[in-house]
Structure formats: structure tokens, C-alpha cells
Amino acid sequence: MTEDDVDRLMTNDVIAAIEADRFPPGTALGDILRYDTRIVDFGPGDFVVRENDYGNSAFLILDGTLQVVLSPNLPERLLGRQTLTRKGFFETISQLWTNSWRPELRDTARYDGQQLRGGAKLESAHVVIQDIPTILNEHRTATLGVNDFFGELAALGRIPRTATIFAETPARVLEIRWQGLRELRRFDPGWRRQIDETYRENALLRALREAPMFSHLNSDDLQKVSESVLFETHGAFDWHTTYKRMREQGKASEHGTVIAREGDYPDGLLFVRAGFARVSKTMGNGERTLNYLGAGDFHGIDELYAASQGSSGGDVALETSLTALGYVDLLRIPRQALEKYVFPNYVAPERRTSQLAERDVGEDMLMEWAVDMRYINGTQAMLIDLDRCVRCDDCVRACASTHGGNPRFLRHGSIADHWMVANACMHCADPVCMIGCPTGAIHRSIEGGMVIINDDTCIGCGTCAASCPYDNIRLVEIRNNAGDLVQDAETHLPIQKATKCDLCVGNIGGPACVRACPHDALRRVEFHGSDPFAGTAR
């Protein structure tokens, strides 16, 4: 971004409408434009965003026309994703003789069909729509033109892109990353209003609709509630970069941004819409993690309910603290809404959250550690009980057997007591790896929910591998059927592809690693309680 660009941007209608005075000197509008935005040019047919992608940025159209695909959705293949086909029984058995111990063999003929536009730099490769008129004919679209703004929900809420948007004509777009967007919303009331309205309409309402405690409300009441609800985001969306840096230096993760402190007055119920938050209590000189909250969980209801029943004797204070783990997107539901809509039907649980502190510290050690390592993000963390594992590598062999002879994880990783979290993709709730893929090769499968990399469209840029906070994605050099390394035609460097665990999505029977362990030492878990294997028994 050059100075000229910044100047030119300042003349843009939308930008010019921003009240630059409102921005403090430390975060001047110009600085935001300079450091938190960039200008991207798209050719006709280039995808700007793909539906269900995760993104970190919002877009302002400077020039050109974009099309939003409304319905029907574009086929997955067109978006660079793979269609999910499960192998049949015979094909599964045939892997016995078709698998090869030669690493990463690929049938390179498959790659020719992909609509990849190459470039000297890998990151500028795009998946492209070849036939725009057909798309426009077959799908209902909406046109976006100059000064149209979109993508803020994904950037600020970590919500998957709701629609696919591609460039119809050559277009120039201002991409604003989430840090800049946050500042803009913070200081400019116009942007705040627009962003908040969009948020309220989409994310908030949907979250409230899906919450069990409001499920009995009709739409009018729900609307009223949504209007009274405040929302806020804590922590950093790029927590993974900080996390990686800390891990490299051997430091523990930071405790997290404090949202509500123990002893404070509970200003409404905190409802987690996305992200993770830690519930903790002061213990000695530290904070003892009692639990962690994910999407759909809430904080402070015990205290608020007790207050509403008048049983707390006057002062109402939070019994536990709430801190952000990575980022957390919260809804703050005011007491009035609670007392009107929630508490009449509410049955208080036998144990209050704060009573979790009565457990022995040793019992919570694993959860404390998992929270610290941010493994709570994972929905399918590979957990190995080292007291049962005989280090036979049958799990790795099984993983290889379902992937043409190539394993997709490593049997090493962080260890706590006798538990190891191996370097296998955890299919996170917050998949930061998916942010920034130029071709949409890495995506979340709608059917299964697992994060998959489409080998055909992956260009090996390494963005996902670098993003993954847990080092679960690896780039491999591919070989053709003869066993020779495949080289890029221009640079003569070996072509790499990103690979990771895909939960054996194309195979029958689910993850082969779990099946293959002869000593019941390996499970794919989410972290709860002291026995992480609990609930995964089969």
C-alpha cells in the first residue's frame, strides 16, 4: 500500500464519509488504511469469497462489478472443494494392493482439469469460474457495485461466509482486515451502526433462535430480546499467531483477556456465541480453571438467578471470573430480559459452577493443561494414553492404509502426565487454518463437519500449515506414478501439497487410527473432565 493509494482511498466516497477526527492519534484513519487494508485486483471469474469459508477481512468495492450467488449454491467442485464420495467395499479392500509405500504418489493428470490460474507467486493463484454467463443463467445472483461493502460478519464474528461472491468484470477491491475493521467500528458511529445492524440481523438473531433458553419464544419476543441484547468481542482473532510464538519460545499461553472478574457485579448473562472463554476462580497466587465455555454456553446464571429469587441477600457478585481464550464473541443478555423470559421456566441445577472448585486439583490437571494449550479448540483431538500405548505405530499404518500409503499425522505431540495430544488435525471449532486459503482447497465439509483439504486444488502455498497453531498440517512433496518428484514447470521446484488428517472422510467406518490401536490407547476426543476418554467409548 503506497502513500498514493492511501490518498486515493481517502477520496473514496465511503472512506471520505468517515469522520477522521474521531480516530485518536495512535490509530489514525490513515494508519488504519495504510496498515490494516490492502487493495486487491480481481479478474473476471475470480472468487472474492466462497460460501462457508472463514475469513478475516471485509471488502469494499472500489471499482468493477461483483456478483453474489444467491441460489442455488454453486457446486462444491466449482468452489475448489472436493465432492465427498465414500469408497465402496471393494474399493476399500483393493487398497490392500493399490496402496504404495512410495511416498505421496499422485496421478498428475487429475490436476489438469482444475481451473487454477497460476502465477509466479503461489499466493496469487486463484480458483476461477470459467464460464460466467452460464453461472449467471443458472443461479440467481445479486450485483454488487462500487462502494458496496460486505464480509464484516466473517471478519468480526468468525462466521463462515454466507454467500459466494465472484468478480464479473475486472474489479478492484479494498480488503480491510479485522483489526482495521474493529477500529473503524469503534470510532466511527456510521460504521458501527451498519456493522452492528448487520450483526444483529444475522448472527445475533440466529444465535438467540438456536439457544435452548429462548427456544420457546415467538418471533416478536425474540425480536424484542435481540434488540435489548448487547454484544461484544474479546480477545484477538489471530490468537494463533501469538500462541505459536509463545510455544516456540517455550512459554505458557497468556491467561487471556479478562471479561468478567470474580466478585464483580454481574451485568447481564454472558452468552457465548463463538469462541472460547475460561471460567476460573482465584486460588492461591493463580487462577484455577474450573471449566471452559464454548458456543452456546453462558456465564453468571447462578448468581443472577439467585438474585432474582432474592436468596442472595442483597449483593450479587460473580463467583467466578471469565476470561477470553483466543477470541470470544459474547452476547450480554440484560437482567430484564432474563427475568421476563428465562427465569420463569428456569430450574436451577444442583451444583453451581463455583462448586467445581471443590474438586481435587489433580483431577482438573488435564483440563487446565488442555485449556492452557488451547486444545479445547479441537473437536477431534487425537489423544493417546501413553500408559497403554506400546509405540507400535499401528495407528500410523492404519492412517496410511486409508490414504494410499501415506500417513496423515505424527505420533508425537505435547504430553501431560500420561496423555499425549498427537499432531493430528483436531478439526477445531475455530479453524484458523481455513483463513486465507487462496483456492478454497481447505474447507469444512457441510455433511460431516470435518476440515478437509482438496488435494486437486491445493497449490501448496503453505498458508494453512503456517496458520495451524498446533502444527497439524504438513506440506509434502508429491511424486508422479513413476515415483519421481513432480516439479513445477517454471521454477523447477518440487510441487508441494498440504496434507492433514481428514477423519478418513472418504472411507467407510470412520477414523482408522482409533480402530487400529490394539490396546485401546487412542481416541478422538473433546476435552471434558478428568477422564477425556469418557463418552468416546465404543
Partner 1 sequence: MRPVQKFGVSVSIAAALVFLGVAGHAYQSWRHAEDATPLSGYILIVLFLLLGLFSSRKKLAMLPAGRAAYWTAAHSVGGLMAIGLYFVHTSGTVWPGGSAERLLAALFYLVSLSGLIGYALQRLLPSRLTRAGVEVIYERVPAELADIRQRVEALVTDATEQHGSDTLARHYVESLSWFFRRPRFFFDHLGGGRRGLAWVARETEAVSRYLDDSEKTCLDEIAELAEIKDRVDFHWSLQTVLRYWLFVHLPLAAAAIVLALWHVILVHVYVI
Partner 2 sequence: MITDQDRYAYDNSRYERPNFPYICGRACMWGKPCSRGPNLDGRCGGTTVCTPFRDDDRWVCRRSPAEGGPCEDGPMPDGSCCQSQPPCRPRRSIRVQRGRFTKIAVALTLVLILAFVGFQPGGSASWSGISSVSPGPLSGAHTSFALADIGCTACHKAHDSGLLQMTQALFEPANVSAGCLGCHSFGAPEDAQSLANIPHNNRTLVAAMASDDETACLNCHTEHKGVDANIAAVSDVQCNSCHEKKFAAFDTDHAAFSAQYPHIRRAGIQFDHSNVTEHAKLSCNDCHQVDAAARNVPVAGFNESCGECHGDLLRSTDATAAERWDLRLLRIPEFDAKTSPVLAKKFKIKKLAKACRLDDDAKGQLTERIAELREATGSSKAKAKLNDQDLEARAVTAFLTGAKANKDKAYAKNVGKLLVALAGKPNKALGKLLSKKGASRSETATLLAGLSPDLVRSVACGWLIDGGYKPRSKTKNGWFATADGLSYRPTGHGDPVLRAWIDFAVSSANLKGKKALGAGAVLAAFRPQMMPDSVLASGVGGCLSCHAVSRMAVAAKDGAPELRLLAEWRQEPASKRPLVRYDHRPHVDLLGATPKCGVCHERREDAKISKMFEAFDIDVVGGSFAPIRKEICAECHTSGQVRNDCQLCHEYHTEPGFRHAMMGAAEN
Query: Binding residues for partner 1, per CB under 8 A?
Result: 92-93, 95-96, 386-392, 394, 397-398, 401-402, 410-412, 415, 418, 420, 507-510, 512, 514-521, 533, 537-538
Listed residue (136, 143, 139, 127) closest to 78, CA to CA: 127
User: Residue 430 or residue 502: which is nearer to partner 1 going by CB?
Assistant: 502
User: Residue 37 or residue 423: which is nearer to partner 2 going by CB?
Assistant: 423
Residues 415-434 within binding reach of partner 2 (CB under 8 A): 423
248 binds, among partner 1, partner 2, none (CB under 5 to 8 A by kind): partner 2
Q: What are the grid coordinates assigned to 210, written together?
A: 438456536
User: Residue 483 or residue 509: which is nearer to partner 2 going by CB?
Assistant: 483
201 binds, among partner 1, partner 2, none (CB under 5 to 8 A by kind): none
Phi, psi for 182 (deg, rounded to 5): -65, -40
CB of 224 to partner 1, least distance (A): 49
205 binds, among partner 2, partner 1, none (CB under 5 to 8 A by kind): none
What is the torsion angle, in degrees rounded to the nearest 10, for the CA atoms of residue 498, residue 504, residue 505 and residue 506?
A: 90
Kindly state whether residue 473 participates in binding partner 2, applying the rule CB under 8 A. Answer: yes
Q: Which residue has the cell 495451524?
A: 468
Phi, psi for 88 (deg, rounded to 5): -80, 180
Span near partner 2 by CB under 8 A; candidates 38-46, 89-97, 241-249, 303-311: 241-249
CB 343 within 8 A of CB 257: no
Q: What type of residue is 236? A: A
CB of 102 to partner 2, least distance (A): 5
The CA-to-CA distance between both ends of the chain, in Å, stands at 55
Q: What are the grid coordinates assigned to 122, written together?
A: 503461489
Query: Measuring CA to CA, how many Å separate 498 from each of 4, 29, 85, 289, 337?
Result: 37, 38, 20, 35, 48
SS3 (DSSP) at 235: strand
Kindly state whether residue 406 participates in binding partner 2, applying the rule CB under 8 A. Answer: yes
Kindly state whether residue 357 participates in binding partner 2, applying the rule CB under 8 A. Answer: no
278 binds, among partner 1, partner 2, none (CB under 5 to 8 A by kind): none
Kindly state whether residue 413 participates in binding partner 2, applying the rule CB under 8 A. Answer: yes
Q: What are the grid coordinates assigned to 176, written together?
A: 480491510
Residues 247-266 within binding reach of partner 2 (CB under 8 A): 247-250
SS3 (DSSP) at 489: coil
Kindly state whether residue 469 participates in binding partner 2, applying the rule CB under 8 A. Answer: no
Give one DSSP letter per residue of 129-168, joined into a string.
-S-HHHHHHHSEEEEE-TT-EE-HHHHHH-PPPSSEEEES
CB of 465 to partner 2, least distance (A): 5
Contact set with partner 2 (CB under 8 A): 99, 101-103, 247-250, 393, 396-397, 400, 405-408, 410-414, 423, 465-466, 468, 471-476, 483, 492-493
